[in-house]
Amino acid sequence: MPVLDDLTTSYTAYQQETNGKTALDLISRLQQAGKAEDAIALALKWSGKMTVPIQRAQLAYFMSCLGLLAQAEPMLQELLPQVAADEEIYYQIRLELAVVKYGLGKFHEARLLQRLLHQPKWCEVWTRLASQNRDNSWFLPFKDKVLDEQPVAGKTILIGAEGGIGDLLQFSRYVKNLQQEGAARIYCQVPPAAQSLMLNSGLPIVIVDDSFSGMHGCDYITWAFALFTRYQKNPYFPVAAQGYLGLAADYALPAGIQEKLAAGSSGRRRIGLVWRSETRVRHEPFRSMDLQALAPLLASADADFFSLQVGALSDAERQLLEQYRVIDLAPQLRSFEDSAHVLEQLDLLLTVDSAPAHLAGARQRPVWLMLAQACDYRWYDCQRFTPWYPSMRLYRQAELGDWGPLVAAMSADLALQAGV
């Protein structure tokens, strides 16, 4: 088990030579191994000892990822002016400080910090940091085309690929803002798995992929997160009062999925499940959950369950699906368009923070979102309601890594609904 082997190596190094470097490495390994309590304890122990700015910045980042937002905020605030001479470090600390402030409910402070980072100068920095081998030569010819505060009336816009499909689905709501401002044509880079969905969404966009060669002909280039800071001027506006992604009326799901959905037609509620993410982001492994954690809910709820969990399943997962008679739809899902049409036939989706959550929200389908105590900043500090999606209910961990109380709360709410 490589993760545990790495953890053992880091622990041994820390014991042999205890210093800031070995402490940071051990915190990182503990986090990757899912040992939240130990990682948090070590991070707090070193929060008053770490003095080297770059190490202190790394510690503050780990603390943010572990949900220690109140402790990370003053550290990042203090570090920001100290690193102003190094634009790459400054960019990363400023962005992390914005992330922390969003999570603490300080939306307006966070937006001011983040908005600046979408100016052309800082786009050059983040594309360098994000590009393989730090080679952002693909971007440099278009640096002067970065959309900041300029009016877009009569202009051709390219929304470049950034983040995952969930980010694309969430922030595609701002396409209509560009249209309302008078943008003449809007290109949008979309990954293959979401292209058919976005093509039939009704949004005023032209779908392209990351090989799009028309960048030279566009007046402005922007990205999903830049549109977020351009248009989302408070946590509640613009609000999506209704689903903003359309579906093709004559779409046919694969025969295998139709058969499985028909087989589950018992008259009981039909509930979809997604319990882990297939992408590796900052909040893993805590964003995802072990399917076993859902066993009490699967055993008690009066419902038919359908798995929309893509990716290879472990033997333990397959055994649990069989034990609780969960119908697995994932092998027949070809695209997010398939997933969207499946959601139309379900009464509820239970999911961790992943693209299906945003898909359900964008379609106004009922969805209960299971959030780790340390979660993405876009959920702000909201407890149950989220202004992003009226059809979504949030369930938050009280303690990082402990899904038990959250699952118990969902089970109780499902039972209450069944009794209404």
Res 202: pLDDT: 96
Of the given ranges (264-268, 321-325, 326-330, 407-411), which has the lowest mean pLDDT?
A: 264-268
Do 138-231 and 255-419 fold alike per CATH?
Answer: yes
pLDDT, one tens digit per residue, over 276-297 is 998 877 888 999 999 999 999 9
Query: What is the model's pTM?
Result: 0.95
CATH architecture of the domain 2-117 equals Alpha Horseshoe (1.25)
Residue 255 burial (10 A CB sphere; 0-12, 13-18, 19+):
exposed
For the segment 213-226, the average pLDDT, to the nearest whole number, is 94
Short-list 110, 87, 84, CA closest to 99: 110
The answer to whether 353 touches 170, Cβ cutoff 8 Å, is: no
How far is residue 142's CA from residue 223's CA, in Å, rounded to a whole number?
13
Percent of the chain with pLDDT over 70: 98
Q: Residue 1: pLDDT above 90?
A: no
Give the pairing of strands 367-371 and 303-307.
Answer: unpaired
Tokens of 383: 């407890």
Any alpha helices (H) in 275-373, and if so which ranges? 295-300, 315-323, 336-343, 355-362
CATH of 255-419, one of 3.10.129.10, 3.30.70.260, 3.40.50.2000, 1.10.10.10: 3.40.50.2000
pLDDT of 76 > 80? The answer is yes
Kindly provide the b/e burial profile for residues 100-137, where b requires at least 16 CB atoms within 10 angstroms of the residue's own CB: bbbbbebbebbbebbbbbbeeebbbbbbbeeeeeeebe
Break the chain into its structural domains and give their ranges: 2-117, 138-231, 255-419
What is the DSSP annotation of 270-282?
A: EEEEE---SS--T
The three-state secondary structure class of 269 is strand
- Cβ atoms of residues 328 and 334 within 8 Å: no
Question: 372 φ, ψ to 5°?
Answer: -65, 155
Fold entry, domain 138-231: Rossmann fold (3.40.50)
Q: What pLDDT band is residue 264 in, cutting at 50, 70 and 90?
A: low
Q: Could you give the residue ranges of the DSSP H alpha helices within 104-223?
A: 107-116, 120-130, 165-171, 175-180, 192-199
DSSP secondary structure string for all residues of 142-159: GGGGB-SS---TT-EEEE
User: Is pLDDT of 239 > 80?
Assistant: no
Measure the CA–CA gap between 295 and 32, rounded to whole angstroms.
24
The count of other CB atoms within 10 Å of the CB of residue 383 is 11
| pLDDT level of residue 240 (50, 70, 90 thresholds) | low
Nearest one of 368, 362, 390, 345 to 166, comparing CA atoms: 362
Indicate if the pLDDT at residue 391 is higher than 60: yes
